[in-house]
């Protein structure tokens, strides 16, 4: 009972704080909207997608990738708050509590994933309302499953980095090296079927590619590059590994 209450407490804090930081919610949506409106319209005006993608406009094509982008950015930076907590004594207050480190980690993951899910839900609503993305009951459920797996993975990764770093500058440096390759090498902005071999290899090694691939399949009906089963297998595996890494980082976290 104690651990469960603790889990709820950590989630409760993250959720309440998130709802009170309206500026954070709004600013997190501005970037994806700019990508969709400016980049999507601008580049979409001068290219046409070939190879089984004809009939899909470029804006709709990158929409699943932009969903993944909002997950990447909001979730990875969620780890930064650990460093903020370390700079004062809030983290000690949590660590002196009679709770296991694993519980603390999972509480944070749940909190971060909830925050991310709210942002994704807002972007889904915007997508359906203004970008004519044809969501159905099936594609909504599948989208949420894929997004949850990716959220759990990236929140865990951000928390692991946050647990091991002691300064926001160090955190920024590391995440800068992580976030851009994960985003640009995911196929979020371009089709992955006819890439040169070297680039294709990098894309295939990036777990985020499988989330983009799955989302593009369930939302737009585009045939999957890797197969949905493969996509889910990779995303499950990625989430599991990141949870293990995050738990390990929390166990050895100093303050």
Residues 11-30 within binding reach of another protein (CB under 8 A): 12-13, 16-17, 20-21
Nearest approach in angstroms of CB 73 to another protein is 18
From 214, 233, 211, select the one nearest 223 (Cα to Cα): 214
Nearest approach in angstroms of CB 177 to another protein is 24
Angstrom CA distances, 73 to 6, 143, 227, stand at 27, 18, 26
d(CA 141, CA 172): 33
Among 41, 52, 87, 128, binds another protein (CB under 8 A): 87
d(CA 115, CA 74): 8
Residues 199-228 within binding reach of another protein (CB under 8 A): none
150 interacts with another protein by CB under 8 A: no
Nearer to another protein, 193 or 251 (CB): 251
Number of residues that bind another protein (CB under 8 A): 29
Tokens 């369930």 -> residue: 218
Nearer to another protein, 20 or 193 (CB): 20
Structure tokens at 134: 């044809």
d(CA 159, CA 124): 26
Residues 6+ apart with CB under 8 A from 131: 36, 59, 60, 63
Q: In this structure, are residues 143 and 164 in contact, taking their beta carbons and an 8 Å threshold?
A: no
Q: In this structure, are residues 120 and 48 in contact, taking their beta carbons and an 8 Å threshold?
A: no
9 interacts with another protein by CB under 8 A: yes
101 interacts with another protein by CB under 8 A: no
Residues 62-81 within binding reach of another protein (CB under 8 A): 81
Q: Please identify, among the stretches 95-103, 116-124, 142-150, 173-181, the one whose residues bind another protein according to the rule CB under 8 A.
A: 95-103
**Which parts of this chain interact with another protein (CB under 8 A)?**
1-2, 5-6, 8-10, 12-13, 16-17, 20-21, 81, 84-85, 87-90, 92-99, 255
């Amino acid at each position: 009972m104690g651990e469960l209450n603790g889990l709820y407490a950590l989630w409760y804090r993250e959720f309440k704080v998130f709802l009170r930081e309206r500026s954070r919610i709004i600013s997190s949506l501005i970037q994806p909207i700019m990508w969709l409106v400016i980049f999507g319209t601008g580049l979409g005006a001068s290219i046409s997608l070939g190879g089984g993608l004809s009939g899909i406009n470029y804006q709709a094509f990158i929409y699943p990738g932009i969903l993944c982008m909002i997950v990447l950015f909001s979730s990875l930076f969620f780890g930064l708050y650990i460093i903020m907590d370390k700079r004062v004594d809030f983290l000690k207050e949590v660590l002196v509590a009679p709770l296991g480190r694993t519980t603390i980690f999972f509480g944070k993951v749940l909190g971060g994933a909830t925050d991310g899910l709210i942002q994704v839900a807002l972007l889904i609503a915007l997508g359906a309302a203004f970008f004519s993305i044809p969501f159905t009951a099936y594609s909504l459920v599948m989208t949420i499953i894929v997004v949850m797996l990716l959220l759990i993975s990236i929140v865990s990764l951000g928390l692991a980095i946050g647990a091991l770093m002691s300064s926001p500058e160090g955190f920024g440096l590391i995440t800068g090296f992580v976030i851009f390759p994960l985003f640009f090498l995911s196929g979020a902005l371009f089709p992955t079927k006819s890439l040169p071999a070297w680039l294709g290899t990098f894309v295939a090694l990036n777990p985020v590619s499988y989330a983009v691939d799955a989302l593009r399949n369930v939302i737009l009906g585009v045939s999957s590059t890797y197969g949905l089963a493969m996509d889910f297998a990779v995303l499950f595996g990625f989430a599991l590994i990141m949870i293990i890494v995050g738990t390990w980082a929390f166990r050895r976290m100093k303050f």
